[in-house]
């Protein structure tokens, strides 16, 4: 789970409960976004995200599900 301020979530076009990619130095994974009005702008809190240590810088990115190529199927 990723907890962030409303301003940071709005900047990334994220909403409460949405999934976002969390990129750390060694790996990346999907995590649920929680918006906390009391969170400081620029800070995020990670919970149950493996591969990220408290002192590391991570990026939180909205998944781009629209630009993936579609497979050609018999259904067209």
- Domains in the chain, CATH or no CATH each: 2-61 (2.40.40.20)
Q: Are 27 and 51 in contact (CB under 8 A)?
A: yes
> Is the pLDDT score of 2 beyond 70?
yes
Residue-by-residue DSSP string for 4-60: E-HHHHHHTT--TT-EEEEE-SS-EEEEEEEE-TTSPTT-EEESS-TT--TTS--EE
Average pLDDT over residues 10-32: 92
Q: Are 13 and 62 in contact (CB under 8 A)?
A: yes
Residues 6+ apart with CB under 8 A from 75: none
pLDDT tens digits for 40-61?
Answer: 999 999 988 887 877 888 899 9
């Amino acid at each position: 789970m990723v907890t962030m301020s409303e301003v940071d979530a709005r900047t990334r076009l994220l909403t409460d409960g949405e999934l976002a990619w969390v990129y750390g130095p060694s790996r990346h994974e999907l995590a649920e976004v929680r918006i906390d009005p009391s969170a400081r702008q620029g800070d995020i809190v990670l919970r149950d995200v493996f591969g990220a240590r408290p002192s590391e810088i991570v990026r939180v990115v909205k998944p781009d599900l629209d630009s993936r190529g579609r497979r050609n199927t018999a259904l067209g």
